[in-house]
Amino acid sequence: MAGTRARSVSIQLTQQEQELFTILLKTLEHEKLDTTLRCAGGWVRDKLLGKDSHDIDIALDNKLGGDFAEHVNTYLSSQDLETRKIAVIMSNPEQSKHLETARMKVAGLELDLVNLRSEEYAESSRIPIMKFGTPEEDALRRDFTINSLFYNINSSEVEDFTRRGLDDLLENRIIRTPMPASETFRDDPLRVLRAIRFGARFGFKLDEELEHAAASEPVRYLPACTSWKHLTQSWEHRQRSVMVCIRQTAGMPLHSPEA
């Protein structure tokens, strides 16, 4: 699956976002870096839906987050601008922190800087083996197609390496996994809960393959009290497919519980 889906979409940047991206691009120029900067995940999704987002994840194709953050401060210092505090969160797989992430605040916006990555899961562990990846590998490892979109800061273009993310977000309004759902949930069964949460949040339907995989034996060990208690408190009015998936995942009957 090479390349991105060709589709004419644009993202309207706020003044803050424009200021931020200008600083980042000036950093590349000043530091003579050949790095491609991509906004990833939730920020891209929300902007395309016309929603504002103040937390931005930026994926780097050839730099660790901490290294690039230092380059940003070098550029700011060269312009007699205040440098920013950098918080580096080291990788810690046991706490689901699989790669180093650098956090800093620039132009009033919170940034998480991390390199593009690919991941593999061993049969006996839910802790992935992480390594540098291509944009396509990074997109395909993500939980859902609507979260796999990139905004390429260098070219000011939206990139859809799964070739389904834009359609699923803007037309189909569906929660779907980039890879086969059974594989995605086998690697990380907690993604079932994320599917339900996103479906309810945006009013999107759940993909039929996703629902079948969510109800399958490999993911049924999810604690019923966790999935049911935390996901049904305020969602009884949401679409039936979401509730069916909750109940199937928790091993509960499809009829509504008695009050």
| Residues noted as catalytic | 55, 57, 143
Q: What CA–CA distance (Å, rounded) separates 32 from 231?
A: 48
CA distance 115 to 164: 23
Helix (H) or strand (E) holding 110: strand 109-115
Across the strands, what pairs with 88?
A: 102
The three-state secondary structure class of 251 is coil
Of 147, 172, 159, 137, nearest in space to 11 by CA: 159
Could you write out the DSSP letters of every residue in 65-98?
Answer: HHHHHHHHHHHHHHTT------EEE--BGGGTB-
Spatial CB neighbours of 29, under 8 Å, sequence gap ≥ 6? none
Q: Are 107 and 75 in contact (CB under 8 A)?
A: no
